[in-house]
Amino acid sequence: MNREQHRFPPDGGLSRPDSSTGVRCILCGSSRIKTLCRSSDLRGVARGTFSLGQCVGCHLTVLTPLPHGFDPETYGAQYYTHQRLDVAALTEYLRKITSTWRAQVLHDWLGYTHLATATRPSRIVALLWYVRNRRSIPRYHGDGRILDVGCGNGDTLFFYRGLGWDAYGVDPDPEACAVCRTQGLKVVQGEIFDAGFPAGFFDIVRMHHVLEHVRDPIGTLSEIRRVLKKNGLLILTVPNIDGIGFAMFKKYWIGLDIPRHLFFYSPATLRRIVEKAGFSCVRLVHLRSAGLLRNSLSLLATHRQILSPALNNTMVGTSLSVALAILGQAIGRGDTIEATFVPRS
């Protein structure tokens, strides 16, 4: 697939037909677009006012205007991917996993046959630890070659490497890539197109809270399809614009993170856009995201000053956020969605 086919104009993920003054959704082709909200950068880093345009036909939502390319200035010096790795903490965490009974759980339950210990936990203990950690530790797959797209400062790459993966990363941020290289991590600065990976190279490609930052999602996903093995897995995590958080907080929902987030996905639009790049969805779940809701509550309180001190109190605010997160997950409107896709034959 030609990468240029999916480059988007400055007015967002909405292309202008030659014979019309309207706009057209790049996912479904509809020309009916509505504005959900307008906002500046509530972190105070970037200048300007931005709009969220949502297609009435398929509900794909996009920031307008879209930036022409990656601009590190919109992230600021304090962005979390610029922070140095806490190598001591990561190393100790890896030691606890690979040198204790936890390694046996990875061996028996998640396919890490190169890990094992003489100590075997009780089945109840093993099950509880597995349930708690199964989303942060992927099942060992194929030859163990994994790509983290949008790897940031490399904390996940460091962790995967310590578990025995042949781990690679790609990120457009030069400062984040510099942090990766201090630990000898395999990282390419730029987009995935710039890496030149061979076809069918990876067993797993991971994008954890990254797809919403990508200006060319269909082109990027198509390149991921090319470098993924036929039996490979694509694991995506994104904020959910159809979640309970946006419904409650609107422009103060931290999941928007304007203008760093460019596209805003629901379960339906995430499925459609990934499927358009040649994948099939095998699993999609709503996650509890109490942290997103708690930060949204704080953001609303900071900018509007309409909440009572008691509601914005750490204990009260956290309790409310946890309750809302549980409710959102229970009714299928969690603030974060995680999905696994496989290449379509």
pLDDT tens digits, 207-251: 999 999 998 999 999 999 999 999 999 999 999 999 999 999 999
Q: Where are the domains of the chain?
A: 3-74
Whole-number pLDDT of residue 84? 80
Give the integer Cα–Cα distance in Å for 9 and 17. 12
Give the integer Cα–Cα distance in Å for 250 and 221. 28
- Phi, psi at 85, each rounded to 5°: -70, 140
> What is the residue-averaged pLDDT of the chain?
86
Q: What SS3 class is residue 173?
A: coil
Q: How far lies 186's CA from each of 52, 98, 107, 111, in Å?
A: 36, 22, 25, 24
pLDDT band at 312 (very low <50, low <70, confident <90, very high): low
Rounded mean pLDDT of 60-68?
Answer: 85
pLDDT at 20 over 60: no
Sequence-ordered list of residues with C-beta below 8 angstroms from that of 133, at least 6 positions apart, any chain: none
Its pTM stands at: 0.88
Whole-number pLDDT of residue 77? 64
